């Protein structure tokens, strides 16, 4: 028997997710190091609905993208990146990195459209990756509804509760809807409609692309045909590390 193991982290199983997390962290660190007032940065590069609707122009349109990489502090960044890490490493290997990048970007644009449509004359900058990350959650609900996750929140008194992703998504959507109705249960200015818009885009993208996504899942589940010399077993643990085990086949006896 020949046994080897190879640990594969987020950078290899979900490269786009890994890069997005790195970029978001770097942007926040650069903001801190620059010493510039964050509100000036948000005013210049954040998505301001009135500037987009009334003024228009290429620069205003570009802020739809730049706003997705700005965060109003460490906890804002941490919350979004935790969601992106767990659901990104689940969705990206299933649909492919190129499709995942498109899904993430379209969800961010959809989130912006919902928020701007709700209050087109608002002067408040919208920043954060939560709209795009909500699209990743929507994709996870569509692609892996029965996958189990642990939910830890004030709703559960910080006691871990095991839920299927579709149930987690349902609870999350209800909470966003409550916030969108004006009951600010998070105690801060949160773009609840942007979250719902991103989530909806994630679902729609998966619905439209369900056939190629299903074909990709079937291919990845089947895997390449083993060669004549070795059988290969690949196991992925809960931390997203993949281990390859190669079992040497016995050689056929020489002919008499």
**Residue appearing with tokens 């008499």:** 256
pLDDT, mean of residues 141-152:
88
- Domain 10-219: give its CATH architecture: Up-down Bundle (1.20)
- What is the pLDDT confidence band of residue 28, given thresholds at 50, 70 and 90? very high
- What is the pLDDT confidence band of residue 213, given thresholds at 50, 70 and 90? low
In this predicted structure, what is the pLDDT of residue 196?
A: 96
In this predicted structure, what is the pLDDT of residue 218?
A: 52
- Average pLDDT over the chain, rounded to an integer: 81
- Please name the helix (run of DSSP H) or strand (run of DSSP E) that holds residue 81, with its range, or none: helix 74-95
Reported as a single tens digit per residue, the pLDDT across 193-205 is 999 999 999 999 9
Distance CA 146, CA 137 (A): 13
Q: What percent of the chain has pLDDT above 70?
A: 77
* Cβ within 8 Å of residue 165, ≥6 positions away: 140, 141, 144, 145, 146, 147, 148, 149
Distance CA 35, CA 187 (A): 28
Question: Is the model's pLDDT at 191 over the cut of 90?
Answer: no
Question: Is the model's pLDDT at 3 over the cut of 70?
Answer: no
CB 47 within 8 A of CB 126: yes
CB 179 within 8 A of CB 192: yes
Higher pLDDT, 179 or 28: 28
Higher pLDDT, 218 or 2: 218
In this predicted structure, what is the pLDDT of residue 212?
A: 65
Which pTM value belongs to this model?
0.78
Can you tell me whether residue 238 is helix, strand or coil?
A: coil
pLDDT, mean of residues 89-114:
95
In this predicted structure, what is the pLDDT of residue 161?
A: 86
Can you tell me whether residue 186 is helix, strand or coil?
A: coil
In this predicted structure, what is the pLDDT of residue 250?
A: 43
In this predicted structure, what is the pLDDT of residue 156?
A: 75
In this predicted structure, what is the pLDDT of residue 151?
A: 80
- Sequence spans of domains, the chain: 10-219
Cβ-count burial 70-89 (b if 16+ within 10 Å, e if not):
bbbeeebbeebbebbbbbbb
- Please name the helix (run of DSSP H) or strand (run of DSSP E) that holds residue 151, with its range, or none: strand 148-151
């Amino acid at each position: 028997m020949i046994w080897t193991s190879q640990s594969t982290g987020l950078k290899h199983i979900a490269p786009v997710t890994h890069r997005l997390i790195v970029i978001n962290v770097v942007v926040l660190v650069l903001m801190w190091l620059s010493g510039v007032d964050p509100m000036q940065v948000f005013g210049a590069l954040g998505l301001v609905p009135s500037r987009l609707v009334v003024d228009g122009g290429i620069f205003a349109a570009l802020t739809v993208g730049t706003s997705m990489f700005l965060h109003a502090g460490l906890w804002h960044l941490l919350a979004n990146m935790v969601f992106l890490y767990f659901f990104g490493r689940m969705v990206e290997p299933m649909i492919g990195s190129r499709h995942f990048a498109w899904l993430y970007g379209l969800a961010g644009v959809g989130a912006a459209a919902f928020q701007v449509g709700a209050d087109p004359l608002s002067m408040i900058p919208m920043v954060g990756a939560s709209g795009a990350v909500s699209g990743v959650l929507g994709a996870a609900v569509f692609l892996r509804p029965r996958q189990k996750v642990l939910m830890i929140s004030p709703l559960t008194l910080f006691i871990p509760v095991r839920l299927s992703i579709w149930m987690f998504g349902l609870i999350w959507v209800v909470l966003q809807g409550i916030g969108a109705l004006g009951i600010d249960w998070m105690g801060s200015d949160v773009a609840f409609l942007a979250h719902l818009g991103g989530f909806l885009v994630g679902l729609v993208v998966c619905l439209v692309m369900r056939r190629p996504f299903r074909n990709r899942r079937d291919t990845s589940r089947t895997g390449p045909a083993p060669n004549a010399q070795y059988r290969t077993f690949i196991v992925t643990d809960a931390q997203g590390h993949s281990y390859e085990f190669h079992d040497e086949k016995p050689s056929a006896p020489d002919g008499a």
